[in-house]
Amino acid sequence: MPSSDQQPELPTCLFCKIVAGVIPSHKVYEDEWFYAFHDIHPAAPIHFLIVPKLHIPSMAHLTEEHTALMGQMMTLAPRLALEQGCRPYPEGGFRIVCNTGTEGGQEVHHLHMHVMGGPRPWARKQ
Ligand code: AMP
Ligand code: ZN
């Protein structure tokens, strides 16, 4: 895991402020490395975001040192999806989206994973 002093929180970043509790959020989960919260504009009946507490701007910024962190994030997602009410695979399941960069549709430049699920049809595509 990277040390937290390598990528400190960015005071101007929306998701760093949410992690710090400066901006309120509806918390789904928290541990030493991650914070998860409900998306303010849900695109599906279940829609939450998982962010690393470290300020990493996007997936495009990942290096070898983030391998363990990202592995933890990928295994956290299915666990939280079930806890939040997604039905089990294969009938249920969930969608994971990591928008990256402007053409990738990223609006908040703090790496985050959208986790969406629940009965279809959903409101819109993320
Ligand atoms: P992206 O387009 O991948 O950068 O997604 C950013 C997401 O953050 C969008 O789905 C927004 O609805 C969500 N969002 C923005 N501000 C907040 C907030 N204050 N609390 C929760 N979700 C937010
Ligand atoms: Zn940030």
Structure tokens at 126: 């993320």
Tell me the C-alpha to C-alpha distance, in Å, between residue 55 and each of 6, 13, 69, 79: 9, 8, 13, 23
Beta strands 46-52; 34-38: pairing state: antiparallel
> Is the CB of 40 inside a 6 Å radius of any atom of ligand 1?
yes
* pLDDT confidence bin for 123, thresholds 50/70/90: confident
Residue owning the nearest CA to atom 13 of ligand 1? 39
pLDDT in tens, 59-88: 999 999 999 999 999 999 999 999 999 999
Structural domains in the chain, sorted by start: 14-117 (3.30.428.10)
Q: Which ligand is nearest to the CA of 110?
A: 2
Give the chain's count of helices (H) and strands (E): 2, 5
pLDDT in tens, 17-42: 999 999 999 999 999 999 999 999 99
DSSP, residue by residue, 9-28: --TT-HHHHHHHTSS---EE
Q: Return the best residue to mutate from 41, 58, 102 for the ligand 1 pocket (most ligand atoms within 8 A of CB).
A: 41
Q: 2: closest CA among 55, 40, 78?
A: 55
Nearest CA to ligand 1 atom 19: 40
What end-to-end distance do the CA atoms of the chain give, in Å?
29
Residue 109 known to be catalytic: no
Residue 37, helix vs strand vs coil: strand
User: Which numbered ligand comes closest to the C-alpha of 17?
Assistant: 2
